[in-house]
Amino acid sequence: MEKVIVAMSGGVDSSVAATYLKDQGYEVIGLTFIMFSENGKMNEKDKKAIEDAEKVAKQIGIKHYTENITEEFQNEIINDFINQYKFARTPNPCVICNRKIKFNYLLKKTKELDAKYMATGHYARIERNNRVLLKKALDQNKDQSYMLYRMSQEQLEYTLFPMGKFKKAKIREMAKKYKLDIHNKPDSQDICFIKDGDYIEFLENQREDIGKPGPIIDIDGNKLGEHQGLHKYTIGQRRGLGISKSYPLYVVDLDSENNTVIVGKNENVFNNSFYIENSNWVYYNDLDKPIVVNCKIRYNSPEKLATVYPEKNDLLKIVFKDKQRAITPGQSSVFYKDDYVLGGGIIK
Task: Answer yes or no: 94 catalytic.
Answer: no
Among 145, 167, 141, CA closest to 156: 145
Task: Answer yes or no: 192 catalytic.
Answer: yes
Angle at 244 between CA 238 and CA 246, to 5 degrees: 90
| Annotated catalytic residue, options 5, 7, 12, 97 | 97
| Annotated catalytic residue, options 34, 82, 192, 243 | 192
Burial class (CB in 10 A: 0-12, 13-18, 19+), 72: middle
Helix 79-86 and helix 199-206: axis angle, to 10°?
100
- Residues 6 or more apart whose CB falls under 8 angstroms from that of 345 comprise 276, 277, 278, 279, 280, 316, 332, 333
Among 93, 64, 66, 69, CA closest to 80: 93
Which amino acid is residue 27, in one-letter code? E
Number of H helices, E strands in the chain: 9, 17
CA distance 243 to 231: 18
The residues annotated as belonging to the active site are 97, 192
